[in-house]
Amino acid sequence: MTTIETRIKQKKAEISANGNDRNSEANQAMKALVYHSPGNKSWEEKPKPQLVKPTDAIVKISKTTICGTDLHIMKGDVPTVTDGRIIGHEGVGVIEEVGSAVSNFKKSDHVIISCITSCGKCDYCKKGMYSHCTDGGWILGNLIDGTQAEYVRIPHADNSLYPIPAGSDEEALVMLSDILPTGFECGVLNGQVKPGDIIAIIGAGPVGLATLLTAQFYTPAEIIMIDVDDSRLAVAKTFGATQTINSNDGKAVEKLMKFTNEKGVDVAIEAVGIPATFELCQAIIGAGGHIANIGVHGKSVTLHLETLWSKNITITTRLVDTVTTPMLLKTVQSKKIAPKKLITHHYKLDEIIKAYETFGNAAKEKALKVILTNE
Amino acid sequence: MTTIETRIKQKKAEISANGNDRNSEANQAMKALVYHSPGNKSWEEKPKPQLVKPTDAIVKISKTTICGTDLHIMKGDVPTVTDGRIIGHEGVGVIEEVGSAVSNFKKSDHVIISCITSCGKCDYCKKGMYSHCTDGGWILGNLIDGTQAEYVRIPHADNSLYPIPAGSDEEALVMLSDILPTGFECGVLNGQVKPGDIIAIIGAGPVGLATLLTAQFYTPAEIIMIDVDDSRLAVAKTFGATQTINSNDGKAVEKLMKFTNEKGVDVAIEAVGIPATFELCQAIIGAGGHIANIGVHGKSVTLHLETLWSKNITITTRLVDTVTTPMLLKTVQSKKIAPKKLITHHYKLDEIIKAYETFGNAAKEKALKVILTNE
Amino acid sequence: MTTIETRIKQKKAEISANGNDRNSEANQAMKALVYHSPGNKSWEEKPKPQLVKPTDAIVKISKTTICGTDLHIMKGDVPTVTDGRIIGHEGVGVIEEVGSAVSNFKKSDHVIISCITSCGKCDYCKKGMYSHCTDGGWILGNLIDGTQAEYVRIPHADNSLYPIPAGSDEEALVMLSDILPTGFECGVLNGQVKPGDIIAIIGAGPVGLATLLTAQFYTPAEIIMIDVDDSRLAVAKTFGATQTINSNDGKAVEKLMKFTNEKGVDVAIEAVGIPATFELCQAIIGAGGHIANIGVHGKSVTLHLETLWSKNITITTRLVDTVTTPMLLKTVQSKKIAPKKLITHHYKLDEIIKAYETFGNAAKEKALKVILTNE
Amino acid sequence: MTTIETRIKQKKAEISANGNDRNSEANQAMKALVYHSPGNKSWEEKPKPQLVKPTDAIVKISKTTICGTDLHIMKGDVPTVTDGRIIGHEGVGVIEEVGSAVSNFKKSDHVIISCITSCGKCDYCKKGMYSHCTDGGWILGNLIDGTQAEYVRIPHADNSLYPIPAGSDEEALVMLSDILPTGFECGVLNGQVKPGDIIAIIGAGPVGLATLLTAQFYTPAEIIMIDVDDSRLAVAKTFGATQTINSNDGKAVEKLMKFTNEKGVDVAIEAVGIPATFELCQAIIGAGGHIANIGVHGKSVTLHLETLWSKNITITTRLVDTVTTPMLLKTVQSKKIAPKKLITHHYKLDEIIKAYETFGNAAKEKALKVILTNE
C-alpha cells in the first residue's frame, strides 16, 4: 500500500472513530460543494463538521475562493479526491469551536485558513517544510473535507490557522491561504530574486500574477511576463511587469535573448505546468541563473543537460509550505502589497456553481480570483 | 558567429599578434602532447611558449596529469579543440617568467595551475563564477595550449595560479588543479551536504572519489557510493564510503529506499554523465533533497516533474569555478584531506602516450589519477 | 510586572489548577534535589509530578547530569529559581505517561529531554528560535521543576523530547540535552566555521570542549584552545585541538597573532563569560571574522568599535535553541562524534550531593560532565 | 612599523619611482583641494597626475562631492592624511588615459570612481572584501591623492571604476561612489532586512538616508527613523520613512518598545558613530534581531552582554566594500531608486571652499550631498 493510500485510510478512521458524537448532533446540517465523479459536483446538504481531535478547530467560513487545482479535481485528475468529498482549501472565517489542546485560538477569533495543514512537530514541520507534514500537508479539500462549505474542520489548528488583525480587509487575506505564498515561496524565494535582477515569469494566470506581485518585494530591475493571452499581459502591466511578451509567435526566446544582450535572464519562473513552458525556461536562463518551477506538471519534461551541465544553474520544485504566511501578512498589513488586485469576481457562497463556470472560463470572463461570501 | 567561435578567433589573434617575438626565439623548443585529429595525438616538438600579454606567466611544468575530459578530446568529442592544440589543464610547476602586470608571482615561485583561467575583473569573476570568465574559463588545453608539455603560458596569472607553500608535496597538489575543486564545488557545495545527512554519490571514478573525500568536510552520517565496478567500490570503502552498492543488478533504487526507510537520500550527486545515472538520482532523492550534477552530459535526460514538482527539491549544474582552491589548499596543508590517495600510477612526462593507455583502460588497470613528472 | 514575573505566576497557576488531581495521588512520592536558598539544597521527598496539560508527558529519569548553570543557581545567582524548586534541565528517561494531545510519544518510549521547552506553535518556535518560545524556553529546573529527580513533567512533550533509537548508549545522549547543542549552535554555527578556517575557542571547560568536538564537523584547519588550566588544555588536545595556549602569562594575543601571521583568526568562540575573555576575542579576530559568544555574562563588556568598526566582523549571542538536536543525534548514531568523552564521573542519583561537590571542584577533580544514574 | 605605515611608505615609493615621467610633463598642471594641516586647506595648483603602474587610469573629474569623512580629515582626525594630500574619494569622470594592463576601459569612457580601490587578486578581493584589499581599500584622498581635483589617478582601474551607461544622469551616479553602497552594504545587507520587518535607522544624515533608500529594496513593513533634528526627520518622511522619532526628549526607547509591543525591532542600524546611539540600538533590538553598525566610531562603547548574551542577536561592523556597485547601478538604471534625492546643493568645482562651508553647516544649510561640477 502506498503512503498516500495509508494516509487516506487513516484520515477516514480518525473521523469515523468520532461517529457517535456526530450522530448525536445529526440534526445540525450545512451546505457544501461536493465532488462526486468527474464532471459531477453539487451544492448540497452535509452534516456540519465536528471536532475529531483535541488539536482541531471548527471554522465558520466567511469567504472562500476557487483554485485552479479545484478545476483539475472536478475533471477527475486528482485521484486522492473521492466521491463525497467537500472541495476547497482557501478561505477566511470565524472560529466556532476549538479542541482542548488548541491554545493559539478561541471561539470568535477571525482567522486565515492555510491551504497546508501543519502539525508543527514532525521532522518536516520542524524544518519549515509544512507541505510534507506527516500528518498534514495538502489535505483540505483533498484527503479530508474542505472550505467550499459553510463550516470546515481544521486539524492542527494552532499551526494551520493565522489570526486576522482587527480592522483587516478579509477579502485581501483570502489570497494568503494559497496563491500568494505559492507565488512567493515556489517562485520568488526559490528563484532567489535579488535587487537589480532581470526575471521572467512564464504564465500570467493568477499564480503567475501572485508571483509578479511578490517578486517586487526584492526590487528586480526588470520583470518580464510571458503568456499567450494579451488581456492577461495587459493586466500584468498594471501589476508591475516592466515588459510583456506574447509567446504565440514562437519568438519569445529570441526576444528575451535580445533584451538581455544574449546573456539570458537571472531568474525564470515557470507558472504554467506544461513541457513547452519549462522548455522556454531552459532556453532563456542565463549562466548562474535560477529556474523556479511552480506549475503542477502532469508529464515529464526534457532537461537539456547537454547544454546546461556547464551553465551553473539551479532548478527548484516546491509544493507551497505556507511558512511565509506571517511575513506576507505583515506586508499586507503595512500596505506594501495589495493582493485584492487579484480578485475579479464576487459571488455569494450558494452561487458557487455559477462561480465555477466563471472561473472555468477564465480567459473569456477575464477572471483571476473569484470571491465567494457566506452571508 | 557563436560566442565560442568568436573567442577562438580572438585567442588566435592575440597569440599571432606576438608572432614576431616568437620567431625571434624560434630556436627555443620544447616537447608537448599534441592533438591532431580523432585518435591521432603525438608527443612532439613545439615552440616554447612566450609571454603574450602583460598579465601572462610562463610556467615550467613539474607534474601534470590526465583528465577524463582529455580522453573525450582525443576521441574528437570536443569540437573547440583543433589540430595542433597542446592538451592538458592540470599541473604544478615553477614560474619561468612573468608579464609586467603580474604582481602576485615572480620567477622561481612554485605554483598550482588552475584548470580555470580567471581574469578577476569581469562580471562573472566578480561573482566568483570563474568558469564563465569572459576572457578565461576552461581555455587551457582547449582554446589555447595546455599543460601536457614542458612549458605552458598561463593568461591572467595572478588570478589563475596559486602559490605552493614551502615544503608541500607537489603530487598531492596536482589534485587541486581540477579534480578536487570539481568534486567539492559541483558535488559537495552545490549538494549542500550537512552534518548528519545521508548522501549518495553515483559513480566511483576519480571525480566521484574526489567528491567522496571532500564530502567528509561536512560530516554526513552516511555516504553511499554507487557504481557498476566492484573494485572501484572497494576503493571507495577505503576512502570513507559507509555503504557501497553495485547497481548492476538493477536494484539500486530498491536498496537505497529500504536503507532510508523509504524517505530517500538528502543529497544525490551525479558523477557519471549519462541519462541512466541522472534517472537514478531522481528515483532516490528525498523530499527537500538536492541533486547535484557533476557529470558532463552529451544527451538530454528526462526530468520527472510529474512526481518531482511537489517534492521541494533542488537540482544544480556547474562547471567548476576553482573558487575554493585556497580553501582546499588549507585543508591539504593541515592534513584534513589526503588527495594523494587518488594517484595510482606514475610516469615520466615523455612516457605520456603510455600513460594515456593506462588511463584509457582505467577499469582494467585500476587507474584513478596518473602523475606525469617532467624530470 | 515584567514578562518573566508574569510567566512565573502563570506557570504556578497552571500547576495549582490541577491540584485536586495531585491530591488524589498524594501518596505517590519521589526523591528530588531541591533548591531552598543560596547555599542550601537537599535531596528530599517531593510529590511525583502529574500531567497538567494534554500536551505534557511524565518521564522517569534514567540518567541526568549537572550543568555549570546549576552551580550558579545554588549560589543564588538566578533569581527566577525560588525556594522549593527541583533543579536540573538535562537527562534521558522513559515515558511514564502522556497527555491526550501528545502524539509523537507513548508510555515506555526512551527519550532525550531537551533543556529547552518548545511549544512548536508560537512565532519564535516557527522560526526555530525555541529558546524564546513564549510558553517554553529554558523553564526546566528554573520556572518549573526539573530533571534532578526520579520523575519530571515535560510540557509540550512532542516538541521538547526526542526519541532514542533502539540500542543507543543512553549516557552519550545525555550530552544532547544541553551541552552539545549549546557548543554547536552558539559556537560553531553562529561562528560560521568553514573548512580550512583557523578558529580559537576561549575556555576549555565542558562547553568549550563540546564546541571543540562539534567544530570538527566542518573541518577547520586549526582549532586553537585557550585556557588557564593546563590539565584542561591537555584534555583538549585529546579531543582534537591542534594548538593549545595557556593564557596565564598574558601573551595569548601575541602568540595568536604570530601564529596567524598577524591576520587574526577566522572565528573566535567565547566559552567562559567574563570581560577578559571577550576582550581576548576582540584582540585576535581577523578582518571579516566571527566572534561567537557562548558564555553567560554577568557584567557588560567593552566593545572596541574604535578599531572594529572597519573590520567587517560579526558578533553573535545565543541562548541555545536545541533546534539541531535531530542533526546531532544523527552524528552520534553514525559515530561521527563521541560525546561520551565529556563524561568523567559517575554517581547514583541519590549520591547527587556528592556529585555536586565533585563538579563544584572541577579543576581539582578534573571533572567535566558527571553522570547520575537513577537505578 | 604598523601595517598602515608600511603602506604609506610603499605608496610614496611607487609614485616617486615614476618621478622622471612626471617631470617631463611638469608643465601640465591642474587645480585641486589640498589638505595641509588641521583647519588648513586650499584650492591650489598641483601637477596633473601621471600613470604610475600599467593597471592605472587617469580620470578627468566631471563631478565630485564631499563626504562627512572629509570634514574629519580637515579637522586632523585622520592621521594617515598628511600635508599636501589632495582630498576626495567620490566622483564620476571621463577616462583620459589608461595603463597597458587595463582592459575594461579606454580613453573617453564615462566612469564611476569607487571610493574603494580593489586589486581583484588578493585574498580579500577574491572574497569580495575589497575594503581590506592588500593593495587598495580606502586609499583615495587618504594614502594617495583623491578626487576633489580636475584629474585623479585611479590604481587598479579595471576593478575600481565602473562604466556609466550611455544616457545616464551623472549626478545621480556620484552617489554610487560611496554613500549608497555604504548604506546598503553596512546597513541593509549586514542588517539582513527582510520583507515585513520592522527596522530602525539611527541617524538621518546622508548615510542614514542612503540606508533608508536602499532598505526599501527589501520591503520592510516599517522603517523608523530616529534623529535629533526635526528637519532631517521631515526629509526622511519624504524618502520613505514610515515613522520618525526625535530622540531629544530621551524617550526614544520607550516609544520604540511601545510601537513594537515590547518586542523590539528586527533590525537596528547605527548611522552616527557615538556611544549614545549604539546604546540605543542595544536597548531596542528584539530577540533574534540584527544590529548593523555603519558609524565611524572614535571611542569604545559598552556592550550589554549581561542582557544580550541570551537574546540571539547579531552585531556587524563593516567598512564599505563597494562590491554591490554593479547591483546598485542596475537599480538606478531601472529607476527603482532615485539617489538624486540626496543632492541638495550645487557648486562649480572651483567653488569648493564655499561648498565645504555649506556642507560643514549641514544642519543650518539643510545640506545633504553637495555636487561639485568641473566645467
Alpha carbon distance C111, C61 (integer Å): 10
Residues C216, C193: Cα–Cα separation, whole Å = 9
Rounded CA-CA distance C244/C262 in Å is 18
CA distance D50 to chain A (A): 36
Asked if the model's pLDDT at residue A23 lies above 80, the reply is no
CA of C53: how far to CAs of A103, C17, C98, C126, C155, in Å? 11, 10, 10, 21, 8
Shortest Cα–Cα distance, C147 to chain B (Å): 28
Query: How long is chain C?
Result: 375
Of B194, B217, B221, the CB nearest to C195: B217
SS3 C289: strand
Q: Chain B interface residues facing chain A, Cβ-Cβ under 8 Å?
A: 3, 124, 127, 129, 131-132, 262, 273, 278, 287-288, 293, 295-306, 308-319, 321
Residue A13's pLDDT is 73
Kindly report, residue by residue over D195-248, the tens digit of the pLDDT. 999 999 999 999 999 999 999 999 999 999 999 999 999 999 999 999 999 999
ipTM above 0.90, yes or no: yes
Amino acid at B157: A
CB neighbours (10 Å) of residue D197? 24
In DSSP terms, which residues pair with A130 in a beta bridge?
A: none
Residue the block writes with cell 450545512: A30
Is 50 exceeded by the pLDDT of residue D29? yes
Q: What is the pLDDT of residues B82-95, one digit of tens each?
A: 999 999 999 999 99
Judged against a pLDDT cut of 60, whether residue B19 lies above it is answered with no
Grid cell at residue C56: 505534557
Question: One-letter amino acid identity for A324?
Answer: T
Residue A17: the pLDDT is: 62
Q: Residue C17: pLDDT above 80?
A: no
Give residue A178's pLDDT: 98
Cell of D295: 558609524
Residue B21, pLDDT above cutoff 70: no
Give C185's DSSP letter: I
Min Cα distance B54 → chain D (Å) is 6
Report whether pLDDT(A20) > 50: no
Bridge partners, residue B33, by sequence: B43
Query: What is the number of other CB atoms lying within 10 angstroms of the CB of residue D147?
Result: 29
Burial of C238 (0-12, 13-18, 19+ CB in 10 A): exposed
CB contact under 8 A, B217 and C219: yes
Output the DSSP codes for A134-147. Answer: TT-BS-BTTTB--S
For chain B, the average pLDDT equals 94
User: How many other C-beta atoms can be found within 10 angstroms of the C-beta atom of residue C97?
Assistant: 17
* Chain B residues in contact with C217 (beta carbon < 8 A): 195, 218-219
Name every residue whose Cβ is closer than 8 Å to that of residue B41 and which is 6 or more positions away in sequence: B33, B34, B35, B74, B87, B353, B356
SS3 (DSSP) at A105: coil
Band of residue C213 on the pLDDT scale cut at 50, 70, 90: very high
Phi, psi of C253 (to 5 degrees): -60, -50
Beta bridge mates, C199: C223, C267
D73 confidence band (pLDDT: 50, 70, 90): very high
The answer to whether C115 touches C140, Cβ cutoff 8 Å, is: yes
**Cβ pair C309:D316 closer than 8 A:** no
Over residues A167-188, the pLDDT tens digits come to 999 999 999 999 999 999 999 9
pLDDT mean over A75-91:
96
Percent of chain A with pLDDT over 70: 96
Beta-sheet strands, E only, within D214-294: 222-227, 243-246, 265-270, 285-293
Instruction: Give the range among A346-350, B76-80, D9-13 with minimum mean pLDDT.
Output: D9-13
**CB < 8 Å to D314, chain C:** 314-316
A132 and B287 within 8 Å at the Cβ level: the answer is: yes
- Give the mean pLDDT of B154-173: 96
Q: Is the confidence at residue B26, as pLDDT, over 70?
A: no
Q: Which residues contact D146 (CB under 8 A, 6 or more apart)?
A: D85, D86, D87, D88, D89, D140, D152
Region for A144 from its dihedrals, namely left if φ exceeds 0, alpha if ψ lies in -120 to 50, beta otherwise: beta
The tens digit of pLDDT for each residue in C97-135 reads 999 999 999 999 999 999 999 999 999 999 999 999 999
Residue D22 has pLDDT above 50, yes or no: no
Tell me how close the Cα of A205 comes to any Cα of chain C, in angstroms. Answer: 31
The enclosing H or E element of D238 equals helix D230-239
- CA angle centred on B328, ends B323 and B334, rounded to 5°: 155
Query: Which ranges of chain A does DSSP label H, i.e. alpha helix?
Result: 3-16, 19-24, 68-75, 123-126, 157-160, 170-174, 179-181, 206-215, 230-239, 252-259, 275-284, 305-308, 325-333, 352-360, 362-365
What are the backbone dihedrals phi and psi of residue D44, each rounded to the nearest 5 degrees, phi first? -140, 175
Nearest by Cα to D185 from D115, D91, D238, D247: D115
In this complex, do A306 and B293 lie within 8 Å of one another by their Cβ atoms? Answer: no
For the stretch B348-365, pLDDT in tens is 999 999 999 999 999 999
The pLDDT, as a whole number, for residue D18 is 57
Q: Which three cell numbers stand for residue C202?
A: 576561549
Give me the total of CB pairs closer than 8 Å, taking one residue from chain A and one from chain D: 62
Rounded CA-CA distance A155/B134 in Å is 55
Q: Which residues pair with C30 in a beta bridge?
A: C46
C-alpha cell at C251: 601573551
CB–CB contact D196 A328 (8 Å): yes
Average pLDDT over all residues of chain A? 94
- Residue A19: the pLDDT is 47
What residues of B are in contact with residue A296 (Cβ under 8 Å)?
309-310
Residue with cell 513593513: D221
The cell numbers describing D234, all together, are 521631515
Alpha helices in chain C (DSSP H): 3-16, 19-24, 68-75, 123-126, 157-160, 170-174, 179-181, 206-215, 230-239, 252-259, 275-284, 305-308, 325-333, 352-360, 362-365
pLDDT tens, residue by residue, A326-364: 999 999 999 999 999 999 999 999 999 999 999 999 999
Helix/strand/coil for D234: helix
CB contact under 8 A, C222 and B334: yes
Q: Tell me, what's the pLDDT at D6?
A: 73
Residue-wise pLDDT for A220-260, tens only, equals: 999 999 999 999 999 999 999 999 999 999 999 999 999 99
Confidence category of residue D165, pLDDT binned at 50, 70, 90: very high
Grid coordinates belonging to C132 = 524564546
